[in-house]
Amino acid sequence: MAGKNESGSEELVARSKRVLPGGTFGNLPAEIIIREGRGCRVWDENGNEYIDFVLGSGPMVLGHAHPEVVAAVQEQVARGSTFFANNRAGIELAEAIVEAVPCAEKVRFVSTGTEATHYAMRLARAYRKRDKLMKFEGGFHGMGDWALMSMAPRQPGNFPQAIPDSPGIPRSLTQEMLIAPFNDAETAVALIEEHADELAGVILEPFQRLIRPKPGFLQALREATSAHGIPLIFDEIVTGFRFAYGGAQEYYGVVPDLAALGKILGGGYPLAAVAGREEIMRLLDKSAVGEENFVQQTGTLSGNPVAATAGLATLAVLRQPGTYEKLFATGRQLMDGLQNAFRNAGITATVLGEPPLFEVFFADGDLSNYRATLRSDMNKLRRFNRLLLERGVLKPETKIYVSLAHDDEAVAKAIAAFEDAARQLARETR
C-alpha cells in the first residue's frame, strides 16, 4: 500500500499464507489485516487508519463497537454465551422481527445467511411437495448448492437453464433450479405460468446485488406466484433493516411469503433467521404437522443470547426517529460525490444502487440486469479500489456500504478521495 506503513503486518501475511487457502478467510486480500474498528473507521495491524465502507460486509450499520451494543453484549457474555435452549433475548428479538417485517408471523433462527436461504427453500419444497425452484440470474443467496446456480456465470446460458457456479456441485441439481432474468417481468411470469405445477417456490433478492427492481416487477412476481399458490421468497439478508425498518418488502411495498434475514439482524455477531407466514413456518413444528410433514432444522448456536442481544440493541437504535432519513441522506451525498468525481474526470461510469448500498460500474446505459452489468470494466474497478485504499478509504471489491457512523468529516474525506482517485485513474487510462 503506497504511502502506508507496511512493516508490522508482513509476518502475519506470511503466517496466513501458510495456514489459510490463498492466505485469506475468503474475503478481502491477505495483505489487509484489520486490528480494530470504531465508528466508521478501522485500523490495520500497521496502525494505518481507513474510512470503512466494508462494514463487515454489511452488518455494522451503526458502525464498529457502537457503545450501546458493546454494553449490552458485555452484560450478556458475563451471564453465558450459548445454551442450546430458548432464552429471553432470542424470544424478544423474534418478537421484534414479527413486529417489524410485514411477512413475518413466525421466526426460526439460524447462524448464517446461507442457512437462512437454505431453510427457506427447504420449507417451500416441503410446503408445495415439489422440488423445483426458480431464482434469478445474478442473484446471490449464499454458498449452498442450490443457491450457487447462475449466480455469476462467466458465459450465461439460455433461460431457464441453470449453470453451477462452483466445482463440487452435483450436476443433477441443474434440473431442480430454473433461472429467469431479473427485471424482465414478462419472461419471469411466463416461466412461472409454464412451470406452475412443478415449482416449489420463487426466490430472489428484491434489490439484486446493486440493481433496483423496475416499477411493477416485484408486484408481477407477487401476483403470478399468488395465483398458483407458489411461495415467494425474498432474500433480505442484505436489505433487511437497511432500506427501511421493515426491510425491502416495506420499502418497495411487496410482501412475500417467506424472508431470509441476516447481517444487520445480529448486530455484528453470527445470527440469521427465516421468517414468514405461519401456514408455512408451522412445518418446523412437529407437534403441529406430525412426523411425515415435519421439516428438520436445528443449529448449535441458533438464537444464542449474545448475538440476539446485539441484534436487539442494534434494532433499538434503528427505531429512533430520523435514523433512516440520516442514513439515506449520507448515502445520497456519497453517491452524488462519487458520480461527480467520475463526471469531472471525464470517465464513463454509473453509480448504481440505493443510498445505503451502492457501487460504481464502469459502463453506461441500461444496467438493470446481470448481463448488462457484465459490460462494466472490472480492471478499472480494481484499480480504483486500490487508489482509494492508498488514500485511506477501504471498500469491498464490488459495493459500498453506508453506516450511521459516517459523519460529515468522513464523508468529506471520502469524497475528496473519490475525486483524487478518479483523476489519477483518468491519467492512467488516457
SS (H, E, C) 314-381: HHHHHCCCCHHHHHHHHHHHHHHHHHHHHHHHCCCCEEEEECCEEEEECCCCCCCCHHHHCCCCHHHH
Dist CA 292 CA 62 (whole Å): 44
Task: Give me the mean pLDDT over the 18-43 stretch.
Answer: 93
Predicted confidence (pLDDT) at residue 2 exceeds the cutoff of 60: no
CA angle 269, 306, 323 (to 5 degrees): 60
Which three cell numbers mark 83? 445454551
- Asked if the model's pLDDT at residue 89 lies above 90, the reply is yes
pLDDT at residue 4, rounded to an integer: 58
Q: Picking from 147-161, 275-289, 372-386, 405-419, which range would have the lowest pLDDT averaged per residue? A: 147-161
Q: How many CB atoms sit inside 10 A of residue 263's CB?
A: 25
Residue listed under C-alpha cell 411437495: 129
* Euclidean distance between the first and the last CA atom of the chain, given in angstroms as a whole number: 24
Q: Is the pLDDT of residue 38 over 50?
A: yes
pLDDT band at 430 (very low <50, low <70, confident <90, very high): confident
pTM of the model: 0.95
Give the model's pLDDT for residue 156.
85
Rounded average pLDDT over 414-420 = 98
List pLDDT tens digits, range 116-152: 999 999 999 999 999 999 999 999 999 999 999 999 9
| Mean per-residue pLDDT, 384-401 | 96
Residue 253 pLDDT class (50, 70, 90 cuts):
very high
pLDDT range class, residue 157, cuts 50, 70, 90:
confident
d(CA 337, CA 320): 27
Q: Give the residue-averaged pLDDT of 205-229.
A: 98
Report which residue type is found at 416. A
pLDDT for 81 beyond 80: yes
Closest CA relative to residue 274, chosen from 51, 46, 112: 112
| pLDDT computed for residue 9 by the predictor | 83
pLDDT one-digit tens code per residue, 298-340:
999 999 999 999 999 999 999 999 999 999 999 999 999 999 9
Q: Is the pLDDT of residue 1 over 70?
A: no
Of 1-10, 47-56, 168-177, 403-412, the least confident: 1-10
Separation between Cα atoms, residue 69 and residue 63, nearest integer Å: 10
pLDDT at 47 over 90: yes
Share the mean pLDDT of the chain.
96
Tell me the average pLDDT across 358-371. Answer: 96
User: Which among 111, 93, 89 has a CA at the least distance from the CA of 101?
Assistant: 93
Count of residues in the chain:
430
With beta carbons less than 8 A apart as the criterion, state whether 381 and 351 touch.
no
**Segment among 3-7, 105-109, 224-228, 265-269 with least mean pLDDT:** 3-7
| 223-232 pLDDT tens trace | 999 999 999 9
182 Cβ neighbours under 8 A, 6+ residues apart: 136, 137, 138, 139, 204, 208, 211, 213, 217, 368, 369, 370
Type of residue found at 218: L
Residue with cell 432464552: 87
- The domains located in the chain, with CATH, are 7-65+321-429 (3.90.1150.10), 67-318 (3.40.640.10)
Q: What percent of the chain has pLDDT over 70?
A: 98
* Nearest-5° Cα angle at 192, 189 to 195: 150
Mutual orientation of helices 305-318 and 88-100 as an angle, nearest 10°?
40
Q: Are 35 and 57 in contact (CB under 8 A)?
A: no
Over residues 340-348, mean pLDDT: 97
Q: State residue 155's pLDDT score.
A: 81
